[in-house]
Structure 1
Amino acid sequence: MIQIQVDQEAIEKMYMDAIKLKIQELDKELVFWDTKELKRRTCLSWNTIQDNFFHHKDFPKVKIGGKWMYPAKETEEFLETWLDEKRRLQ
C-alpha cells in the first residue's frame, strides 16, 4: 500500500506566493494608467474621483492630447496615502 502525506500549510503558502508573484508581474506591465484603468483600480465613478482627489495638488496626472494619463506607481502611492488620511479623519 502507498500512503501520501500532504502538508496543507506548505501547499497553501506556495499557492499564495505564486499568486503574489503573478500580481506583481501584472502590475509591472502597466507604466501608465488611463482614466478607465483608474476607475477600475479604485472601483470609483469618474464623478467620485473628481469630487474626492482628482484636483488634489499632489495627485499625479498628465494630459496628453485629450486624454489624462496617470503614472501607475506614483498614482498607487498617492491613493494609498489619500485613503489612509481619509481613514484617520473618520
Structure 2
Amino acid sequence: MIDITVNVDRTELLKLCRQHIAERIKEFDAEFVFWDSAELRRRTCMSWNTIQDTFFFDPRFPKRKVGGKWYYPARETRAFLEQWLAEY
C-alpha cells in the first residue's frame, strides 16, 4: 500500500482562487457592451424608482436613449457606479 501526503498552503490556495474568480468576472463583464434598464436593475440590486431617485439624473451617469429604451455602456456604467457608491 502506498501512502501519499499532500500539503496545501491555505493562503496561496485562497490567492489562486481569488485570481481565478476575478478573471472569470472580467470575462463575464466583457461579454456585455451595454446594459439595458433590466440589467442595470439586476446589477445594482435596486428598483427603477431607487435608481432614478439616487443616481440616474447625475450628469456623470452614462446613458443613451435609443428609441424609447435606455442603454448604458457597460464599462463606463460600472466605473460610475463604483465611484458613486464611494462618494455616497
Fold-level match, TM-score > 0.5?
Answer: yes
Over the aligned positions, Cα root-mean-square deviation in angstroms equals 1.3
Partner SS, residue 54 of structure 1: coil
Matches within 5 A, 1:11-90: 11-86=13-88
Structure 2 gap segments, 5+ residues each = none
Partner SS, residue 2 of structure 1: coil
State TM-score, norm by structure 2. Answer: 0.87
State TM-score, norm by structure 1. Answer: 0.85
After superposing on structure 2, the runs of 4+ consecutive aligned residues of structure 1 that deviate more than 6 Å are none
Structure number with higher helix proportion:
1
Structure 1 gap segments, 5+ residues each = none
Q: Aligned partners of 1:53, 1:65: CA distance in 2, in Å?
A: 22
Q: Percent identity?
A: 55
Alignment coverage as a number of residue pairs: 86
- More displaced, 60-69 or 10-19? 10-19
User: CA offsets, 1:4-59, max 9 Å, x none?
Assistant: 22222222222221111101100111110100110011111000111111111111
